[in-house]
Homo-oligomer: A and B are copies of this chain.
């Protein structure tokens, strides 16, 4: 049973050190401190891979929490190649990018007073309804530039929006992503300010058609062209679930012969090839015992053929407002090489 005694827990000595050094030391400890340290190691390994497509699933409302600039940094440095996001994350950042911003508040507050003062609360963050509305009006202005006889997918719409915002000097996530040819998928896009803007545009007589089937087809097509896939989940929800589907979906399945050049996993009962993700990082505050996707272990995804049992994977149970800044700064210190990034510009060709 000597295999149980391979790696010692090393107690931490406090002294001057860099962020990446401390996280490396934490990876030699236990519980979630260990896991946080390991996320940096796994992400670094991903970046060193020759042909890997890195997809980030970004849940929740991280942009109001001062995290959207970190997403921008990850995109600019191409530490991610594609983003699957909630509508919140790629709309609430715009309020800040427009110069309005958010305020630190208390969660112990009288919300009836807040609503009378036109303040929207996100736990301990306050935002002005009037600022939010200005963002929606800007968004609606963009919607009016869209063709009404064209079936858009969310990535096309967000690419065009990013270009449009970038031209105005608004450096939102969509703008930076468009500039860097990083596609953004937003499977439940109407569940956000985007939904409101669709309605506002409609009230102005402008109908937009947003096709979910097209979006899904475009997403899984990434899988057909990729050699290997690595995923980074900030929270769970739809972004995680949707991202996982790329491992098991699309035409090769029906063709019963797999994607040329990709080493798949043949599921016996259905005689089809799956392409489990090779790397997976998951930051979550949910827990496995509730049976849901947001908190489940990455091991559970192995049973589904969505993650490779021999790949590198790590789950860290921690608020992303703690984990994400630390991981990003550690990567910034450690990763000095330039990785080869996959070209996903073909996703934009219909709207370019």
The interface of chain A, by Cβ under 8 A from chain B, is 1, 4-19, 22, 25-26, 28-34, 36, 59-61, 64-70, 73, 88, 96, 101-105, 107-108, 111-126, 128-130, 133, 151, 187-192, 195-196, 198-200, 202-203, 207-213, 215-217, 220, 235, 237-238, 241-242, 245, 248-251, 254, 265, 267-270, 285-294, 296-297, 299-305, 309, 317-326, 328-329, 332-333
Contacts and interface: CB of A to CB of B under 8 A. Distances in A.
Nearest to A187: B188
Given A6-B104, A115-B304, 17 more contacts: A1-B119, A7-B104, A8-B104, A11-B67, A14-B329, A19-B19, A28-B66, A29-B65, A29-B67, A30-B64, A30-B104, A60-B293, A108-B299, A129-B269, A199-B251, A202-B217, A285-B292
A318 B328 CA distance: 19
A235 B236 CA distance: 13
Contact of A124 (B34, B208, B215, B216): B34
* Copies of this chain in its oligomeric complex: 4
28 contacts: A4-B117, A4-B126, A9-B101, A9-B125, A14-B70, A14-B329, A16-B333, A18-B19, A19-B19, A30-B102, A30-B104, A30-B291, A31-B290, A32-B290, A33-B321, A33-B322, A60-B291, A60-B292, A88-B241, A107-B288, A111-B301, A115-B302, A120-B304, A129-B270, A188-B238, A189-B212, A207-B213, A326-B326
B32 A195 contact: no
A188 B235 CA distance: 17
Contacts of A300: 107, 111, 121-123
B208 A61 contact: no
Contacts of A125: 9, 30, 291
A66 B328 contact: no
Nearest to A202: B217
Nearest to A207: B213
Contact of A96 (B11, B107, B216): B11
A11 B66 contact: yes
A94 to B, nearest CB: 12
Given A69-B14, A207-B213, A291-B60, A102 B8 contact: yes
B190 A13 contact: no
A291 B31 contact: yes
A305 B129 CA distance: 10
A212 B213 contact: no
Given A191-B238, A238-B191, A249-B199, A118 B269 contact: yes
A192 B220 CA distance: 13
A314 to B, nearest CB: 12
B213 A69 contact: no
A231 B232 CA distance: 33
Nearest to A36: B322
Given A67-B11, A289-B287, A190 B215 contact: yes
A107 B315 CA distance: 12
Contacts of A123: 30-31, 288-291, 296, 300
